[in-house]
């Protein structure tokens, strides 16, 4: 196998401020936001929309956010943290830029009414060869804490950018 040199530079790692906490972003887990989110998914389950159903049927006697709700409080998806511009400047033809993976672990339920503070840290840039050429994954981790400072969740997410190394980008 031919070893091809990395296309990820120290400047790119610097641009992502790897290992550094990128400020705090605070979001309220509003009932109307949860309702809009569940409705957008097309999920009619009353435990997401009706306080009484949630209290009676749910596991916590409270209305909790649906499992994938954490993503609405991801400062990268909302572009409050916007450090991935370096992906536009890698000097090869880009074949794809899309979401790669999203993972969450909850340590306590995220309840309606919680005020969640999120800190984001880019932890690494993974580089590998795939179907769409050389793939670059800027991996970020979020820590979600509630209004009492308690750990609620941690997430690990990444986009993927692919590059055709046989084609330099037209200038």
Smallest gap from residue 77 Cβ to another protein (A): 4
Other CB atoms within a 10 A radius of the CB of residue 81 amount to 20
Task: State the residues that interact with another protein by CB under 8 A.
Answer: 33, 36-37, 39-43, 45, 47, 53-54, 57-60, 64, 66-68, 71-72, 77-79, 94-106, 109
Smallest gap from residue 98 Cβ to another protein (A): 7
Token representation of residue 128: 């590998």
CA distance 3 to 145: 43
Smallest gap from residue 67 Cβ to another protein (A): 4
Task: Using the minimum distance from each CB to another protein, give the nearer residue, 20 or 150.
Answer: 150
Question: Nearest CA to 17 among 103, 78, 85, 72?
Answer: 85
Task: Using the minimum distance from each CB to another protein, give the nearer residue, 59 or 149.
Answer: 59
CA 157 to chain centre: 5
């Amino acid at each position: 196998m031919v070893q091809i040199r990395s296309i990820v530079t120290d400047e790119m790692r610097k641009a992502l401020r790897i290992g550094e906490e990128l400020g705090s972003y605070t979001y309220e887990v509003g009932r109307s936001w949860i309702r809009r989110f569940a409705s957008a998914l097309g999920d009619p389950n009353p435990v997401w929309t009706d306080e009484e159903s949630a209290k009676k049927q749910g596991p916590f006697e409270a209305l909790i956010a649906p499992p994938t709700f954490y993503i609405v409080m991801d400062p990268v998806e909302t572009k409050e943290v916007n450090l991935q511009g370096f992906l536009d400047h890698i000097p090869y033809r880009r074949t794809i830029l899309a979401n790669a993976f999203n993972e969450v672990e909850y340590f306590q339920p995220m309840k309606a009414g919680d005020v969640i503070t999120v800190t984001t840290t880019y932890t690494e840039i993974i580089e590998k060869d795939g179907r769409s050429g050389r793939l670059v994954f800027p991996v970020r981790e979020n820590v979600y804490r509630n209004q009492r400072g308690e750990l609620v969740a941690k997430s690990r997410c990444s986009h993927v950018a692919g590059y055709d190394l046989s084609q330099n980008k037209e200038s």
